Amino acid sequence: MPELPEVLTTIKQLKSQVLNQAIKTVWLDHKTKFDNFTKTSFTNGIQNKKIIDITNIGKYILIHLSNDNTLIIHQKISGHLLYGKFIKTNNTWKNQDKNSLLNDPTNRFIHLALTLTNKNSIVLSDSRRLSRITLISTKDILTIKPLQQMGINPLSKAWTFSSFKQKLLTHNVAIKKALLMQNIISGLGNIYSDEVLFKSKVRPTRLIATLTDQELKAIFKHIPLILKKAITLRGTTFATYRNPDGNPGSFLKFLNVYGRKNLPCKICKNKLKSIKINNRSACYCEHCQK
């Protein structure tokens, strides 16, 4: 978390509010994790610069600035970006506008605050401090190895069965592990990979070499279908994730297997199981998934 639906929801909401706004003040706490820059160089690189666009590569959010720099944020497991009238008092950032959703306790772990010309701020809240921040010249974005090696975007025109199959067949690992590999498919994570495999009736432990073309086509089909539905519902809030306006994602009630260990399968009523694959949980139904 957050995965592609949460990233795209975040971008959509921010773009509707902050484009052409300049970053007037920059605040970072002393424990913020930087990549290849100091607080001073970071501030100098973004202060008084306009936000001209916000895009993504996989789970990375790219905030493009008017000086041809790009601020890259990876929210990791527990990070989320918020937008509102945040004011710092007694060394603590608090929301001061009428949107009470932004006062949710999960939003109190603020490590980055960018106050804009309209007096509102983009803030990064992350209870586990795992989020990463990078500032780089826009032309050099693809020199960052994870971005350079990013796999196919399942919502793009490049998403074809032949390209998907070709990528998968180069890795004879458990299908669950493969779906989490960002150099194969960009933006897919633990939540939606579980849901895709359930809908495709494939167990997460199956090695790729054992999958039939019919099973591969089912997985290929369900990846964009599930992601699009999650995007429509503004993502999934299972724990800490919030949209920039403070609302949780609404896809939680549509989850079939993720986070439902020992609960009855919605199809066959058998108890769902959970195992670890490459140190990541995988929840599935041993009756419905083969």
CATH number at residue 117: 3.20.190.10
Domain-embedded: residue 223: yes
Domain-embedded: residue 69: yes
Tokens 């939680």, residue?
Answer: 252
**55 shares its domain with 34:** yes
**119 shares its domain with 230:** no
pLDDT at 89 (0 to 100)? 85
The CATH number assigned to the domain holding 274 equals 1.10.8.50
Portion of the chain with pLDDT greater than 90, in percent: 83
CA 160, chain centre distance (Å): 22
Total of domains in the chain:
2
Domain-embedded: residue 153: no
**89 shares its domain with 165:** no
Domain that holds residue 69: 4-148
**133 shares its domain with 52:** yes
Q: Which of 100, 126, 148 is the last residue of a domain?
A: 148
pLDDT at 100 (0 to 100)? 82
Give tens-digit pLDDT for 26-56. Answer: 998 866 656 667 888 899 999 999 999 999 9
**49 shares its domain with 182:** no
**181 shares its domain with 266:** yes
pLDDT: is 38 or 174 the higher one? 174
Q: Which of 114, 148, 182 is the last residue of a domain?
A: 148
Q: Is the pLDDT of residue 219 over 90?
A: yes
Domain-embedded: residue 143: yes
Domain-embedded: residue 289: no
pLDDT at 215 (0 to 100)? 98
pLDDT at 31 (0 to 100)? 64
pLDDT at 19 (0 to 100)? 98
pLDDT at 97 (0 to 100)? 80
pLDDT at 6 (0 to 100)? 97
Mean pLDDT, rounded, of the chain = 94
Domain-embedded: residue 154: no
**204 shares its domain with 107:** no
Domain-embedded: residue 226: yes
Give tens-digit pLDDT for 249-267. Answer: 999 999 999 999 999 999 9
Q: Which of 148, 176, 206 is the last residue of a domain?
A: 148
Portion of the chain with pLDDT greater than 70, in percent: 98
- Dmax (CA) for the chain in angstroms is 60
**209 shares its domain with 242:** yes
Domain-embedded: residue 155: no
**24 shares its domain with 82:** yes
pLDDT at 246 (0 to 100)? 93
**93 shares its domain with 200:** no
Give tens-digit pLDDT for 114-158. Answer: 999 999 999 999 988 889 999 999 999 999 999 999 999 999 999
**8 shares its domain with 137:** yes
**46 shares its domain with 95:** yes
